[in-house]
């Protein structure tokens, strides 16, 4: 398929660019990342690189043409390959026709509800609220508890426990500040009750919002029995548009002994009312590391077993290394690059048997090897809605291959992140209601609520190096006044930028408030602010956020709060 060449949007305010000159003619062989043409914006003259290897098939605009941003200006592909006769916005001429079709209201028949949402998690309740506020009669089905996994068995309860662990750690360190206090252990039953009160409050908030928006809520398991028909309990409902938000469930580990007593899922461990003396965690991803931070600080002897060579392998390797070092220094045993062969019971306790025969025993074993989509809502449409590897395939409008059915969140091919699900739910509802909205998840931040926290956005160093020459800036929190004063000097901010234009390609943070600080990086990257501009933004002093500014300055060799680099 031919690759599009389009007028880039080289800044938040850029609306059009001028083609100074093409550096290749139609029929020429070109190579990816080599200069293809020069353009001029209101700020700068720059080269546009070829997006792929191949032949330049067409140039829609000549030298000197003024072209709106993201307009297709050419195609690169195989010789003889057919391309459109005229230019279009990025995505092809079909985009305009597509949006016109999406805006045309369906009037083919009467339905009980204009929008039906299956699933009351972050994607689902936001979709229902958005649809109702747009004046569409809306119904939501949730078979368990409103708020979904995030509210009841994920984001909210785990972060409540993380905060409890963080408070406990600070109290243990209070003596360093001259605070005379007698600190004991943790009352796990009281911690559990507090966690449950937080969940109840958040779940009640969701219910209140749905009531205020006049969304009908049905507490039954729902499934499709046709493209416009839903069965829930003893009743069926006719609906114009369906938004599937079924969420996810913990992935099992299909090996011998996985059903033995004491082997827990990420849902099960949140129901413990005692602190285990020892805990083995299978899986060193986000869930596993957060649970290690929680129960390690609660007093458990924790061991993490991870198949990959590093913990949280989706993060930058410097983040993984820092986390591993911190865990090890705080008594958590880490076994990376180790494969599990089976589980067995040893002296009444579950044991993890590694491939080399080593046994790791604990009072409990937490299996946290990810989550899988819950597709039970598909019903008779399971063989009609396109899925790959157990995930529903959706486009940038969250549409499935069935015209009136949308899908959002964990059940789709767009990743498992609550903040991504929220954006998808809103976009799907707006599109279903005739006001199509695309959702861009290319720069969705990754957040890790350990102690210290970690967060990342954009490319890792390994990924960025594959694109060309880069700049790297680092600033340690040990040199940040606010972090030192707060007693949290661990960690760093790492900024990766393109060497040619200064585009910020990735930001990775380990340290206190990392999950809050990553928002600034997200905003600046979306606004296409360069590392040069970011390094010059005034930050309040003293703040943790200054470390980001200093890391940007270090990337260009201008940080005055680090020793001068040697030439």
452: cis peptide before it, omega within 30°?
yes
Residues 410, 247 contacting (CB under 8 angstroms): yes
User: Is there a catalytic annotation at residue 541?
Assistant: yes
Residues 528, 12 contacting (CB under 8 angstroms): yes
- Cβ neighbours for 507, distance < 8 A, ≥ 6 positions apart: 456, 457, 458, 493, 494, 495, 496, 518, 521, 525, 548, 551
Please state, in angstroms and rounded to a whole number, the distance separating the CA atoms of residues 377 and 212. Answer: 26
Residues 405, 385 contacting (CB under 8 angstroms): yes
Two structure tokens written together for 442: 């290319």
Find the catalytic residue in 310, 326, 419, 541: 541
375: cis peptide before it, omega within 30°?
no
- The phi and psi torsions of 26 (rounded to 5 degrees) equal -60, 130
Two structure tokens written together for 537: 């933004």
- The phi and psi torsions of 216 (rounded to 5 degrees) equal -75, 125
Q: From residue 115, how far is each of 127, 229, 339, 388, 543 by CA, in Å?
A: 9, 11, 46, 25, 45
Range list of β-strands (E), 142-262: 216-218, 222-226, 229-232, 235-244, 248-250
- Cβ neighbours, 10 Å, residue 185: 9
> Using CA atoms in the order 330, 332, 333, 334, what is the torsion angle rounded to 10 degrees?
-100
Q: Give the residue carrying structure tokens 């040893």.
A: 346
| Residues labelled as active-site residues | 541
């Amino acid at each position: 398929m031919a690759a599009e060449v389009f007028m880039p949007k080289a800044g938040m305010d850029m609306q059009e660019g001028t083609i100074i000159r093409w550096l290749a003619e139609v029929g020429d062989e070109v190579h990816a990342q080599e200069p293809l043409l020069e353009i001029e914006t209101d700020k700068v003259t720059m080269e546009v690189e070829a997006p792929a290897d191949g032949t330049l098939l067409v140039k829609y605009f000549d030298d000197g043409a003024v072209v709106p941003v993201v307009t297709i200006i050419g195609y690169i592909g195989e010789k003889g390959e057919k391309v459109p006769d005229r230019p279009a916005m990025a995505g092809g001429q079909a985009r305009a026709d597509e949006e016109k079709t999406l805006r045309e209201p369906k009037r083919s028949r009467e339905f009980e509800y204009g929008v039906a949402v299956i699933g009351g998690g972050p994607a689902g309740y936001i979709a229902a609220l958005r649809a109702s506020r747009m004046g569409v009669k809306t119904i939501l089905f949730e078979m368990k508890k409103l708020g979904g996994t995030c509210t009841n068995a994920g984001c909210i309860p785990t972060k409540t426990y993380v905060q409890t662990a963080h408070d406990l750690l600070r109290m243990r360190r209070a003596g360093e500040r001259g605070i005379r206090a007698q600190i004991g252990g943790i009352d796990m039953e009281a911690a559990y009750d507090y966690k449950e009160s937080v969940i109840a409050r958040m779940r009640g908030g969701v219910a209140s919002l749905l009531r205020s928006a006049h969304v009908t809520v049905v507490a039954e398991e729902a499934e499709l029995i046709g493209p416009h028909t839903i069965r829930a309990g003893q009743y069926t409902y006719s609906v114009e548009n369906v938004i599937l938000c079924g969420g996810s469930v913990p992935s099992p580990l299909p090996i011998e002994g996985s059903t033995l007593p004491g082997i827990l899922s990420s849902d099960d461990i949140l129901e413990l009312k005692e602190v285990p003396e020892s805990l083995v965690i299978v899986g060193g991803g986000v869930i596993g590391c957060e649970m290690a931070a929680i129960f390690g600080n609660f007093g458990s002897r924790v061991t993490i077993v991870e198949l990959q060579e590093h913990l949280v392998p989706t993060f930058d390797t410097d983040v993984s290394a820092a986390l591993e070092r911190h865990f090890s220094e705080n008594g958590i045993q880490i076994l990376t690059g180790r494969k599990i062969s089976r589980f067995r019971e040893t002296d009444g306790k579950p044991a993890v048997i590694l491939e080399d025969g080593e046994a790791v025993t604990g009072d409990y074993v937490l299996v946290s090897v990810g989550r899988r989509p819950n597709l039970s809502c598909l019903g008779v449409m399971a063989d009609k809605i396109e899925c790959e590897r157990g995930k529903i395939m959706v486009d940038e409008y969250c549409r499935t291959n069935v015209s009136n059915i949308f899908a959002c969140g964990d059940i789709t091919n767009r990743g498992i992140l609550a903040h991504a699900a929220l954006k998808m739910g809103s976009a799907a509802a707006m599109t279903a209601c005739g006001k199509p909205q695309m959702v861009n998840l290319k720069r969705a931040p990754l957040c890790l609520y350990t102690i210290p926290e970690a967060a990342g956005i954009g490319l890792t160093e390994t990924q960025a190096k594959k694109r060309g020459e880069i700049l790297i800036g680092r600033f340690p929190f040990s040199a940040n006044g606010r972090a030192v004063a707060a007693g949290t000097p661990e960690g760093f901010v790492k900024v990766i930028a393109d060497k040619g234009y200064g585009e910020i390609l990735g930001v990775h943070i380990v340290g206190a408030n990392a999950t809050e600080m990553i928002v600034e990086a997200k905003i600046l990257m979306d606004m296409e602010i360069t590392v040069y501009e970011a390094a010059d933004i005034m930050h309040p002093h003293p703040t943790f956020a200054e470390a980001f500014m200093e890391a940007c300055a270090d990337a260009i060799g201008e940080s005055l709060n680090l020793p001068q680099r040697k030439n």
